[in-house]
Amino acid sequence: MRGKDNTRSAAEVLVDHLITNGVNHAFCVPGESYLAVLDAFHDREINITVCRQEGGAAMMAEAVGKLTGRPGICFVTRGPGATNASAGVHIAKQDSTPMILFVGQIGRDMREREAFQELDYRAVFGTMAKWATEIDDPARIPEIVSRAFYEATSGRPGPVVIALPEDMLTERLNVPEAVPAELVETYPGLNEMARLQKMLWAAKKPIVILGGTRWSPNACASVARFAERFQIPVATSFRRAMLFDQTHACYAGDFGIGPNPTLLNYVKESDLVILVGGRMGEMPSQGYTLWDIPNPKKPLVHVHPGVEELGRVYRPTLAINASPTAFAAALEGVQPPTTIGWSGEAKRLHDGYLGWTDKATEVPGAVNMGEIIIHLRETLPDDAIICNGAGNFATWVHRFYRFRKFATQLAPTSGSMGYGLPAAVGAKRAFPDRTVVCVAGDGDYLMHGQEFATAVQYDLPIIVIVMDNSMYGTIRMHQEREYPGRISATALKNPDFAAYARAFGGFGATVEKTADFAKALEDAQKSGKPSIIHVKVDQQAITPSTTIDKLRETALARQKS
């Protein structure tokens, strides 16, 4: 509220500058270290989601940043509030997601005394954030907030962390109104696109791999038109399947955990790889085994908005410093050769993808998660947002679900457990008219299961499917591979997740047979409440393609040999 002298508190200036930059929503766990900001929210048109743990709040903000391309906003208190939020900051770092985390801080006169909950946030977040800073002078709020939006969205997007000393927030000042930050676009050069066309004309087995961020629906559509004109196979990187319609005739599959062997063999034999937006990190590169480093020993075109990523691991034949959006637009001017030398490869790979994903594999037990995911893909709307955290349960989602549209997938490339539920809450807050489904493992869900209370508080009818095998399945899988039969620290005793949902005020159902799932899903949808469907699966069904016993037998045989 402006005073008679036209001044505002620093907290009011901060919130006004967020609104000027298009922010209409923020996620938080309140703290006394930024009470002045909470008070500034009271008089302004900005929606606040109050969360149950700072890690969940940060993940919600990250999810909104991932879906919209604009920074997700999160406020947390100092010390443990900030360290809890670091899980979400790390996701934003590895997923290249624009996000701004504001952290309440001790008063400026108490620094370096190890005051209550004191931390140096530049040090704490220095390797996680694109930029970590602290506002000492409230007159610099316009400058620092403006820079934060540019830092978070430009080049390779990522998280920014800003500490707010509580005494600074209450100072009054008169500063000019903010000017909104504009997205900085990086365009490919004409010579680079001409070289790309020559490389395409010389190729016999090319492939396009899409990843990263800085995409848009129009950019995805431009790539699809390019693929159709060139009849070129298009694959997606780890947890970026939403970048290309998986039912499209040119879709070849995704590079993630346990990819289709047909796709892996093709990319190894290919004579031109066009990597757009992604980094081809450890997971999609199958542990950096797909190509040699630093020389991949094949023509590689690497398109990335962050110049620092070009040549960082792989030395490209042609490096193009451009955003995927700008590059996709430039593809409209690239002409196909008169005769396409790889004619038929796109169809062969797409047929291979369909064969890999059309039908569920047979697994032990009364519940087949493959059939459940196939039911979701056949019944959910094309714009449904599918969220998951980390664990073996996600392999069923990645293999059997089919993403059709941009901004429909929320999954952490960082492998952070507990992400799916907060992501679903954030997605439903940002897009209340869209269907939002979270698929979680039992261990994964309880990392941030308390955010189900947030869904209930804000009346968000998300659907959560908890796949319960009563263990940390991924770690158990690795144990059986490396130390067969020596089970240690992976067994779990779980609650009744359906009763858990009802205790919070939501809908709960239990599924113990595959045939029961369709009715449970229908009942959850009809309830109009946040819902949990508790799916009990056999422990032997550790992945769609193997069992615990098979893993153990293979490992024991290897040891004997």
8-173 folds as: Rossmann fold (3.40.50)
Place of tokens 């959560």: 464
**Stretch 53-66: mean pLDDT, rounded?**
99
Specify whether domain 190-355 bears CATH 3.10.450.50.
Answer: no
For residue 324, report the phi and psi dihedrals to the nearest 5 degrees.
-55, -35
- List beta partners, residue 320: 303
Name the residue among 516, 517, 498, 519 with its Cα closest to residue 507.
498
pLDDT for 2:
66
Fold equal for 8-173 and 359-560:
yes
pLDDT at position 151 over 80: yes
First to last CA, the chain: 76
Region of residue 112 (left: phi > 0; alpha: psi -120 to 50; beta: else):
left
pLDDT band at residue 350 using 50, 70 and 90 as cut-offs:
very high
Name the residue among 354, 443, 348 with its Cα closest to residue 399.
354
More confident call, 528 vs 281:
528
Pairwise CA distance, residues 249 & 208, whole Å: 14
Name the residue among 49, 46, 44, 110 with its Cα closest to residue 78.
110
**Stretch 414-436: mean pLDDT, rounded?**
98
Share of the chain above pLDDT 90, in %: 92
For 4, residues 6+ apart whose C-beta sits below 8 A from its C-beta are: none
In the chain, where the domains are located: 8-173, 190-355, 359-560
Question: In 3-state terms, what secondary structure has residue 519?
Answer: helix
Fill in the amino acid letter for 412. P
pLDDT at position 116 over 90: no
Q: How far is CA 369 from the centre of its chain?
A: 22
pLDDT for 298:
95
Fill in the amino acid letter for 296. P
pLDDT for 91:
98
CA dihedral of residues 497, 499, 500, 502 (deg, nearest 10) = 130
Tell me whether the omega of the peptide bond preceding residue 296 falls within 30 degrees of 0, making it cis: no
pLDDT digits (tens, 9 = 90+) for 442-469: 999 999 999 999 999 999 999 999 999 9
pLDDT for 3:
63
**Stretch 355-378: mean pLDDT, rounded?**
97
Number of C-beta neighbours around residue 254 at 10 A: 27
CA dihedral of residues 23, 24, 27, 33 (deg, nearest 10) = 70
For 79, residues 6+ apart whose C-beta sits below 8 A from its C-beta are: 116, 117, 118, 119
Specify whether domain 359-560 bears CATH 3.40.50.970.
Answer: yes
- List beta partners, residue 8: 173
Name the residue among 146, 143, 148, 119 with its Cα closest to residue 131.
148
pTM of the model: 0.96
